[in-house]
Structure 1
Amino acid sequence: MAQRLTTLATAVLRPNLTPNYWSQAAWTILRVVAGVVMIHNGLDKLGNIESFAQAYVEVIGLPFPIFFSYVAAYTELIGAPLLALGLFTRPAAAGLFSTMLVAMYHHVKVAGLSIPYLELSMLYAACFLFFLINGAGLFSVDALLGGWLNAAIGTPSVASATLAMTEAQEVAVER
């Protein structure tokens, strides 16, 4: 009985360090949801760019507020669908993460460290930072293109490198 509880506790508490389809499916769901729900932010900005520039960009003191408002809107309108598809994920996530950092700065400048003002931009920023660091995952256009390029060039794939690393870790743990 104690053995079963220990095994269950280990399975629940241990982080998932080896890629598997369930973690990759969850990764994909997070990527698609974060990308799709972000699109409306760019549309809202373009709906009244002058108002957005005055209320958000001028307040934080950036020069050329209309220009930077367009930059933010198009970063969201182009980057969010790319993120959802998993195409050029890291550059898209970098742009989206940057817009969220500016949004967080605006919220802090206007309302201080008020969680209700910061929470949404912080959650978006965390998601985009995750994809900036980790990439799109297995179920993405990036993975498909990367596999195709690896096959065309003849270089070892990331999957075979990951498998070799996992086997090396298992041997090290056994020792």
Structure 2
Amino acid sequence: MPKNSLLAAVFKPNVNVNLLSQTSFALLRVVVGMMIVHNGLDKLSNIESFSQAYVQVIGLPFPLFFSYVAALTELIGAPLLALGLLTRPAALGLFSTMCVAMYHHILVAGFSIPYLELSAVYAACFLFFAINGGGLFSTDALLANWLDASALSAQAKRVMNLEKVYEATSIVEPKVNA
């Protein structure tokens, strides 16, 4: 294998909707969804304390109300994300909760990476799913296929056409006149 094609294979992004990428998206969705559930349970176990220590500190009005909103977003949104059901709205709610958590961390500890890292990683994952949806191995995809098979196949055809265009442009090499 020539050196250039090996480097190209290493750096080439995955533009295919393939089994491996969709499986990894599903695995990430399930793991992140299941891991965030305990945060909602922790909040509900002592909601008044959470409200005073976290929500009131950042100056939000009605701290007890917003504490319940955060807890219920994590308790309802996380399993929905894991199942891939209503993935985008669930991920958007969880992303919003993590943005508030990051804001709290910055107010309390400044821009401290060790303090911010977990909420930032969660926020990035939730933003990914808010933008991309649940993927092919999600309840959303099953429902979309059931509701509108023609629209899903049209989308798959667009992706395949984009893939063909990408492959055609990556194969063409410029001519060098000697």
Give your verdict on TM over 0.5.
yes
Give the Å deviation of 1:174: 5.3
Between the aligned partners of 2:169 and 2:112, the Cα distance in structure 1 is 47
Runs of 4+ displaced beyond 3 Å: 168-175
Question: What is aligned with 2:14?
Answer: 16
1:116 alignment counterpart: 114
Percent identity between matched residues is: 64
Counterpart of 2:100? Answer: 102
Moved more, 38-47 or 11-20: 11-20
- Displacement of 1:14 in angstroms is 1.2
For normalisation by structure 1, the TM-score amounts to 0.92
Report the CA distance shift for 1:7/1:26 in structure 2 as closer, same or farther (over 3 A): same
**TM-score, L = length of structure 2:** 0.90
- Pairwise CA distance, 1:155: 3.5
Aligned to 1:155: 151
Separation of aligned partners in 1, 2:67 and 2:33: 19
Q: For residues 170 and 9 of structure 1, do their structure 2 counterparts lie closer, same or farther at Cα, with a shift above 3 Å needed?
A: closer
Q: Which residue number in structure 2 is paired with residue 70 of structure 1?
A: 68
Return 5+ residue gaps in structure 1 as ranges: none
Distance 1:27 1:6 in 2: 29
2: CA distance, partners of 1:76 / 1:124: 12
Structure 1 residue 164, shift from structure 2 partner: 2.5
Q: Which residue of 1 aligns with 2:26?
A: 28
Counterpart in 2 of 1:47? Answer: 45
Residues 131-146 of structure 1: matches in 2 within 5 Å? Answer: 131-146=129-144
- The residue aligned with 2:162 is 165
- Partners of 2:27 and 2:152 in 1: CA distance: 28
Question: 1:41-77 CA deviation, whole Å, 9 max, x = no partner?
Answer: 0000000000000000000000101000000000000
Instruction: Mark the runs of 5 or more structure 2 residues left unpaired by the alignment.
Output: 173-178
| Whole-angstrom CA distance in 2 between matches of 1:155 and 1:83 | 23
| RMSD (Å), alpha carbons | 1.5
